[in-house]
Amino acid sequence: MFAVNFKPYIWSFNSIMQNSFFRFFILITIVTTTVYTTIAQNKFQPYRLIKTIKIHDSFGWDYLTADDDKRHLFVSHGVKLLVVNMDLDTVIDEVQETNGIHGIALNYNLSKGFTSNGRANSISVFNLYNFHLFDTIAIDGKNPDAILYDKFSNKIFTFNGKSKDVTVIDPLSMRMDETIDLKSKPEFAVTNNVGNIFVNMEDKNEIIQIDSKEKKITGSWSIAPGKSPSGLAIDTANKLLFSVCENNLLVISNYRDNKVVTTFPIGGRPDAVVFDPITKIIYSSNGEGNVTIIQQEAADKYTLLQTLITQKGCRTMMIDKRTKKIYLPAAKFEEGKRRIIPNSFEILVYGNQ
């Protein structure tokens, strides 16, 4: 049988490894390969339109909320709530009796969803599994707009534009708990889920901080040079808030220090903003017809990745955290008017995979 003596080869390999130059060369090769592999994996791919979900009606819209685990996207749609399967990108159900619906909040522990109904001054409560309506709660607040569930206090908060206050609701009893007077017009709100809620105040160009357990205002700060803030997102790791403002600015503020960190230019007529804590990417949906996509390099450093051209009126959105798809409600409008062309409502889906 033919035999091979491996000893010379082993000796040669050991000799090479004992040489400091070759050890350095191998180390550099490994590090370089790792770095380039990481860069390749994290390289941003531009977004493009991949699907249009036709609805064929003429109602308006506002906020969207995603249930990533059950793969459901909830889309406010005038007088009803649309339920979209995010894997199939198809409308699978709807919740009625949500007149003037603005926002959607989800309580997974109770398997309940809550909608803020601006025209009806009410909250609709529905089942997250079969989408059946549990109940409708009449509230004292006028024109409830943004709505959120805070798991720290286990309460639902609605932010009421016309009465300039906050309605606190107990999701167990489904009754009003308390009212917090804001004395100015609230827009979107977020929670850090450790006791603090933050609200953009549209007419004062500031952020108000609320203690969710004590249900009282505990602080506020100016977000100048930002004006008329609407959408709000949170980065809990860096204690940052992202406010999109009417004067085409994203204002980044630190909620621990209560001060503005920096600003970044965005498109016109923004209304929603999303921060992805995994990719560190910020998305601002702008009603002029684009999404500004921004990379967070550091807490005070941001770079533009893409200005995604969408459709005029696409001012609100949601991101599927699993696939990174962007969902934007849209409709066609009569020339020079805000009236929707009949049966033109649709949901635009953008992807970068």
**pLDDT tens digits for range 62-71:** 999 999 999 9
Contacts for 88 with CB less than 8 Å, ≥ 6 apart: none
Q: Is the pLDDT of residue 19 over 70?
A: no
Domain tally, the chain: 2
Q: Radius of gyration (Cα) for the chain, nearest Å?
A: 25
Instruction: Return the structure tokens found at 99.
Output: 């007149």
Instruction: Return the structure tokens found at 127.
Output: 């089942």
Same domain (yes/no): 307, 341: no
Contacts for 310 with CB less than 8 Å, ≥ 6 apart: 285, 289, 290, 291, 328, 330, 348, 350
pLDDT tens digits for range 22-61: 454 444 444 343 333 333 346 999 999 999 999 989 999 9
Q: What is the mean pLDDT of residues 73-78?
A: 97
Same domain (yes/no): 83, 102: no
Report the C-alpha gap between 157 and 172 in whole angstroms.
14
pLDDT tens digits for range 89-135: 999 999 999 999 999 999 999 999 999 999 999 999 999 999 999 99
Same domain (yes/no): 197, 294: yes
Distance of CA 127 to the CA centre of its chain: 22
Same domain (yes/no): 201, 303: yes
H or E segment at 37? helix 20-42
Average pLDDT of the chain to the nearest whole number: 91
pLDDT tens digits for range 223-253: 999 999 999 999 999 999 999 999 999 999 9
Q: What is the mean pLDDT of residues 181-209?
A: 97
Same domain (yes/no): 170, 54: no
Structural domain containing residue 154: 90-314
Distance of CA 31 to the CA centre of its chain: 35
Contacts for 309 with CB less than 8 Å, ≥ 6 apart: 289, 290
Same domain (yes/no): 308, 347: no
Same domain (yes/no): 71, 123: no
Same domain (yes/no): 288, 247: yes
CB 170 within 8 A of CB 177: yes
Q: How long is the chain? A: 353
Report the C-alpha gap between 121 and 176 in whole angstroms.
13
H or E segment at 42? helix 20-42
For residue 225, cis peptide bond before it (omega within 30 degrees of 0): yes
Q: Looking at the domain assignment, is residue 68 inside a domain?
A: yes
Per-residue pLDDT at 40? 36
For residue 338, the 8-state DSSP code is: S
